[in-house]
Amino acid sequence: MFTIFIDDSGSSPEHKWAVASGIIFPALQMERLEGEWNTFLAKEGISEFHSSECLARNQHSDFAQWDESRVQRVFARVRQITFKYSVKAFGIGIYKTDYDEVMPEDMRKRVGSYYTWALSSVLGLTYDWSVKRSVPMEYVLDEADKAVKREISDAMEYSEGIYPGHFAGHYSFRRRKDVPALQAADLFAWTCYQQGRRARLKHSIHPLAQENWAAYAKQDDKKWCLFQSLNRQGIEDWIKKTYLGPEDKQIQEFKDKLKEARRPKKRDA
């Protein structure tokens, strides 16, 4: 059994770039991961690791009094533990403006928002990875508010429509504070977000983001992670390939059946 722990970055409305990403851990490694992670937290005197709060030394967090060298050291330690126990990572980024301007309205209703699309793409990559190795997968996502949960559930339904029997009943939401693997995924998601902004939007990024990305990209002879983003032309090509094709029709049929099943049944008079 393997589990991918999924996080997002840039999903807030003010962000122009959004990322969905996840890290795969074998079930057999989870107890060791949690033990080493909790020792790490105790040593640093923190209740949980959170990338953006740590980097910003949020005044209301455990990181408030840290200096730059300590942040750098802790980032490196998070990567070290992650590499020790994980086997693969996937990330998908998208420029929101491209998605909003290129995606046809009726297709967007089926596929969902840019985050749903990015998450569905991560799920597709994970599916391919697991099928190639003939291993079962579980999906764990960071706890979210009702609206985001609905969006994530839509992405799961979309993926279930493509790969029946693989996603329904195989995902759950858990609090990041309680799950070390989600805290590890948080740093990877933040790093993918920063790397995407640099590569696609030509924005300068923090030196620690560059250091993180260099480490992730070269891990396991450059095989540990796969991070992708489609430019506008790539999205247009994907739409031409998918729009009202067999896959798209199959998904719509699945969603129609699901919608019908959710309708309250009329009682006999």
Phi and psi at residue 248, to the nearest 5°: -65, -40
pLDDT of residue 106: 74
Tens digits of residue pLDDT in 15-57: 778 889 999 999 999 999 999 999 999 999 999 999 999 999 9
Q: Does an H or E element contain 224, and which?
A: none
Using CA atoms, how far residue 111 sits from 99, 156, 166, in Å, is: 11, 11, 18
Sheet of 225-229, strand order: 171-174, 137-142, 2-9, 17-26, 88-95, 225-229
pLDDT-based confidence at 257, cuts 50/70/90? low
pLDDT score at 269: 46
Q: CA–CA separation, 110 vs 90, rounded Å?
A: 23
Give residue 255's pLDDT: 60
Please tell me which of 11-20, 82-91, 118-127, 220-229 the model is most confident about, judged by mean pLDDT: 82-91
Residue given tokens 């006999």 in the structure block: 268
Structure tokens at 182: 């989600």
Compute the distance between CA of residue 253 and CA of residue 157 in angstroms, rounded to an integer. 12
Task: Give the integer Cα–Cα distance in Å for 62 and 41.
Answer: 11
Cα 8 from Cα 21, distance rounded (Å): 6
Domains detected in the chain: 2-262 (3.30.420.10)
Q: Is the predicted pLDDT of residue 83 greater than 90, yes or no?
A: yes
Token pair listed for 77: 């330690």
Tell me how far CA of residue 97 lies from CA of 14, 32, 100, 113, 264, in angstroms.
12, 42, 5, 11, 38
pTM confidence score: 0.85
Give the C-alpha separation, 257 to 116, whole Å. Answer: 20
Q: At what angle do helices 68-85 and 30-44 cross, to 10 degrees?
A: 170
Beta strands in 103-215 (DSSP E): 137-142, 171-174
Residues forming a β-bridge with 9? 19
Q: Average pLDDT for residues 92-105, to the nearest whole number?
A: 84
